[in-house]
Chain A
Amino acid sequence: MTCARIREHLPSLLDDRLATAAAREIRAHLAGCPDCEREFTTLSQTLIALDAMPAPTPSPRLRARVYAAIAAEQHALRNPVTSAEPAAPVARKPATRSGRSLWFWLVQPLAAAALLVLGFTLGNRSIPATAPVTLPSATPTTTPAAADAATQRELADLRKKVDSMSQLVGYSLLQQQSRSSNERLRGVLTSAAVEKPDDKTINDLIGALALDPSANVRLNALEALYPHADQEVVRAGVLTSLPREQSPLVQISMIDFLVASRDREATPALQKLSANPQADLNVREAAKRALTQL
């Protein structure tokens, strides 16, 4: 083989998948041809350098987006009707619309009337039984102001019940670590939606921030805690969780939280973090920035 032909085949010596019958002949040629040998060495060095190039890592956004896509697709699979709705042929829309108007004009008034009758019946059954007992000497009919007050009380009771119900849902979802992160995340979001969370909800959110194995759940727990940053227990929870947090994204969010809550007690922890060579560079920089802001 000529040198030109040998050089064409050199890469095959560098890759087991390209082993050729001529390998022995090529090697023998290399032993006696310094030019080809030099070419082989530089090819080999190039490949080694290529393989040694540092493996870049994507930002956490990629994982979040892909898992969101999976969740969205799962949702679409579970709810084929709602997800198929936008894809329904446009031509069918007018027919649907005319059917809907028929429903609105004929069936709905009847249903409303039926509900009204049902409401009266239920009201008559419950009110007379209690009224004579609670108000024996008062006038038999209640005044409009009293009725309004009663309605307000009922509404407040109802609101409380709904609030405690969503707290309950939040607790159960948060505490079942064996459940999927998706459900735990929903637990956090449910707790976040509670207007006035009680101590237990706050504790659960801090617990999720400190202990949940999923960075995403921890991140959302932190977000849910933002409105309660004025509470000392919340700030202390975040501060305690910071040193053991591994995810740079959550660490930086925690630092932002501590800065936003103007927690001067965070200074030693931030100093330690900014000087920790093991910590992510961005985290160290965020800690340094935070120290200047506090």
Chain B
Amino acid sequence: MFTAAPHIPVDSCSFAVNHPADDLVATVDTLAPTSDHELMLAVRGGELDALGELFERHHGPLFGFLVKLTGHRAAAEDIAQVVFERMLKYRHTYRDEGSFTAWMYHLARRCASDHFRKTNAAPHATDPVDLQHHADERPDAGETASTGDDHALLHTALARLDRDDREVLLLSRFQELSFAEIAGILECSVGAAKVRAHRALHSLRMVYLKLQKEPLT
């Protein structure tokens, strides 16, 4: 469904010069492409400033997806950076009839796969940064489970799922993606995507309920 972007190691670039968003957005406004698709077509046509606007619109959800997928903020940030760099590099592969969001998550999935292949490790149950979500880690903390603890439990539950399950589950929560698009991202049939999403949700529920009974140590 999507033109496959070549695999590139994630260890790519680091840049010293910073270029903030506001003026790029202003430049884009004068071009008046409003939809993501129009902006990406502009990028493909050489109007690279338009990618700044796409970054502003999408980096938050993309980063959230990657944090939940990898369980690591730093890794998620590196991967998100690579995703946008690949958008630049492979902009010519973006199709006229494409959906930008689907293309972005397609790239994100590839970049995350590269990351996992490179680190050759499953995501850890908890990230040190996420430990701040634990209001209290004393033995009796489970009895006074707070909202923060619930989030931590869910993080752990997500991390305990298979990566494929986690991936399909997180993608299925993006309401702007149709199941046809999710199937395209996962390179499977629509029916298979639905079944996988259902199974992943059942698995998450089971792990989550189990963890609720066994407070984090």
Contact = CB atoms under 8 A, between A and B. Distances in A.
A67 B201 contact: no
A169 B202 CA distance: 63
Interface string A54-83: 111111011111111111111001000000
B19 A70 contact: yes
Interface residues of B, number: 57
- Most A CB within 10 A of own CB, among B49, B178, B197, B198: B198
Contacts of A57: 60, 63
A61 B77 contact: yes
Contact of B19 (A43, A52, A58, A67): A67
A66 B173 contact: no
Contacts of A50: 154, 158, 169, 173, 204
B45 to A, nearest CB: 11
Contacts, number: 152
A18 interface: yes
- Most B CB within 10 A of own CB, among A8, A43, A65: A65
Contacts of A9: 198
Contact of A58 (B80, B175, B178, B179): B80
B59 A68 contact: no
Interface string A149-184: 000000000000000000000000000000111101
B3 interface: no
6 contacts: A43-B202, A49-B151, A62-B63, A66-B51, A180-B27, A220-B18
Nearest to A15: B172
Nearest to A213: B22
Contact of B76 (A52, A58, A184): A58
Contacts of A213: 22-23
A291 B216 CA distance: 37
B128 interface: no
Contacts of A179: 23
Interface string B47-77: 0110110010001110110011000010011
Given A70-B48, A214-B20, A215-B20, A56 B154 contact: no
A219 interface: yes
Given A69-B88, A181-B23, A63 B59 contact: yes
B13 A69 contact: yes
Interface residues of A, number: 52
A49 to B, nearest CB: 5
Given A17-B178, A66-B81, 7 more contacts: A17-B179, A58-B76, A62-B59, A66-B84, A68-B17, A70-B19, A70-B51
Interface in A176-232: 179-182, 184-185, 213-217, 219-220
A74 B17 CA distance: 13
B209 to A, nearest CB: 6
A216 B20 contact: yes
A63 B172 contact: no
